Chain A
Amino acid sequence: YVLTQPPSVSVAPGQTARIPCGGNNLGPKSVHWYQQKAGQAPVVVVYDDSDRPSGIPDRFSGSVSGNRATLTISRVDAGDEADYYCQVWDPRSDQRVFGGGTKLTV
């Protein structure tokens, strides 16, 4: 199972960043998003398509439509620069799968 993400997304400070993640029959799956800043371990920012862990700003949101999931970051600032990964569980192969990651540049 493959999750496809663009290698990079660039956005100006204060604007909205949208990071897509595409996968076959994505709708029934729970999509999770992780943020990884340089030299640090990943941190979950959205789970189960659109839920946000405590401590994650409400500027981070997620949605799924058809075969595409989107992580939306509003009012982007320099602190949001990081690699972002989508992830699902594929029951056909019994494997967790990560997208290739998207580097967000602010």
Chain B
Amino acid sequence: RKEVEQDPGPFNVPEGATVAFNCTYSNSASQSFFWYRQDCRKEPKLLMSVYSSGNEDGRFTAQLNRASQYISLLIRDSKLSDSATYLCVVPARYNAGNMLTFGGGTRLMVKP
């Protein structure tokens, strides 16, 4: 089983729709989780951090289910500008540093 798994999509949704992505992780000891956004041919940028049961930032809500080991990202009232790939990231201690374990990403395409 991959350490972090995501449905690659693409998810094609109309503007204004609500869309949700799930991400499953295998390391039950993980305490922190992140969603990064990556636009086509650009670098990943932090979207949200999740340390407890969830986090909300405007139209974006991240929820954590530790028992089932998955994190979800909900986007309400989708905008054209939300079109991107969303990366689920689980950091873990790696020797003296840390290692971000990335899922393969879920591609979202918001259509007019």
* Co-assembled chains A and B: no
